[in-house]
Each structure stands twice: as C-alpha cells, then as structure tokens.
A and B are shown apart, each in its own frame.
Chain A
Amino acid sequence: MLYLTRKAEFAASHYYHNPELSPEENRRLFGKCNNPNGHGHNYVLEVTVKGEIDPHSGFVVDLKQLKETMHREVLDAMDHRFLNKEVPEFRTQIPTTENLAIAIWRRLAPKLTNAKLHRVRVYENHDLFVDFYGEE
C-alpha cells in the first residue's frame, strides 16, 4: 500500500451561526466568527489517496486526474466563494473546518476511481487543521 498526498489552496469566506440557538448563545459560542458579514481564510487542502502501485505506469493514481477531480469537485465550487451562501452543503450545516473536511470527503470519495481516498485534511490556517478519514 502506498499513500500519495496532493495539496491545493483556496480562499473562501464564512461565518458561524446555529439557527437553533439564540443570538446571545451564538455570540457566546462562536465569538467573532458569528458576524453575519463573514470573514475569510486561505484554506489549504491536503488529499491523501492510497493504493497499490500499478506495475505498468508505476503510479498509485494518475496525479493529473486527481488534480482535475479536486479542481472540479472542490475548488470550482469553493474557491472565492461565501461558503454559507454559495455552497449547498452549508445552507443547512455550519461551515466549520470539521464540516468542510466532511463535505470535501463526500464530494471526492465517489469520484475517485483508481485509488481509494484515505484522508482529507483541511487547514483553516497554519495552526488549525482537521483530518477526516471517512464515515465508518
């Protein structure tokens, strides 16, 4: 088994708000991130796939295909977007880094044909990141 990781970067804005909670509770829980006008991050996405090395190509996965899938499924939808308003998953979910990692996994997992998705890591910034390994 071999693991291959591809990185990508995207910039997006978001805010945190739980409609089930009162405005005071929202402010207490989410602090500054509750501001409905949103704020932004330069997210770094790391996608790790695993598989056996193909004896003909010497590849675990065609990196070009992986890159294209990441672009089509994730970056085209999320780069330079307001996550709460423009990405369908976040009409009902709060776009925390945790939920972002889960949403990206769900977008990528069914589209990867040769290799198997192992981990989605999303950095909100250099000092905060989330790993998601699937829904077992």
Chain B
Amino acid sequence: MKAHLSRRYRFSASHRLHSEQMSDAENRAIYGKCNNPYGHGHNYVLEVTVSGQVDPNGMVCNLVDLDESVNREVLSRFDIENLNMRPEFADSVPTTENLCTVIFDLLNQDILKRKFTQAHLERVRLEETMMNSFEYSGD
C-alpha cells in the first residue's frame, strides 16, 4: 500500500539577491528590496514529502532516519547562515527557487547513496514567508 509522508522543518537564513552577470541598476530593478547589499533573512519552513509502500511496522520511512538526513544535509548547512557565503551558491543567486532545488538534490543524493529508506523523495516544498512557497519534484 503506497502512501505519502510529509514532515515540516524550520530554519532561518539570510540572503541577498544579486547577480554578478547584471549591472547594479539591473539588479535593483529585478530584485528590488532583496538587492539590499546587507542582505535580509527569512524563517524558512521546509516540507519534505517521501512516498513508498507502508512496511510491516506501518511506516513509509522511519522518521528518526529522515530527521537525521534532513538535519545533516540541510539544517546543519543552512540554519543561521548567510546563504550567499555558502559553497552551494558560489555560482547561483540564493533565491528560494534555487534553494528549493539545492535541498531536493542534497536529500535525494543522500537517500540514493546511503539507502536508509526504500521511500522515494517525492517533493520538497519551501515556504519563504507565510505568503510565498515553492515546490520542486526533481524535474
């Protein structure tokens, strides 16, 4: 029996949306307030969805294993950090879109490499504020 399990996590980080490819005027025009040179922060909410068969213990994925993976791969990298300083964003602007795909890839690689669960990473949803959220399913 296949089910989807979703778990929510929180982290806070700062970023500045600024692209070296564009002039200062273009950056201001495209990113507005988010281009402020000193950056600004968000309380992000990360919703991770995995899917798979419900095992004889009644689980799609052991939550202790999932929490451990999210803690190591995501929260320990980005919580209380400046995203622009992180190597993951050396070549890209830390928009929440890009952050969403980076998080999906990190978690997916960890699941595929360590095989701690049979479940499949279905989706990563990232809430930047109560008003905006972004979803990525790997394609």
Contact = CB atoms under 8 A, between A and B. Distances in A.
Interface of A: 16, 18, 20, 29-31, 93-99, 101-102, 126-133, 135
B56 A129 contact: no
A98 B8 contact: no
Contacts of A97: 5
Nearest to B54: A98
Contacts, number: 57
Contact of A29 (B3, B4, B60, B62): B62
Contact of A129 (B2, B6, B54): B6
Given A29-B62, A97-B5, A135-B1, 15 more contacts: A16-B57, A18-B57, A20-B56, A31-B64, A96-B58, A98-B5, A98-B54, A98-B58, A101-B3, A102-B3, A102-B54, A126-B8, A127-B9, A128-B8, A130-B4
Give chain A's interface secondary structure class: mixed
Contacts of A131: 3-6, 49
Contacts of A95: 58
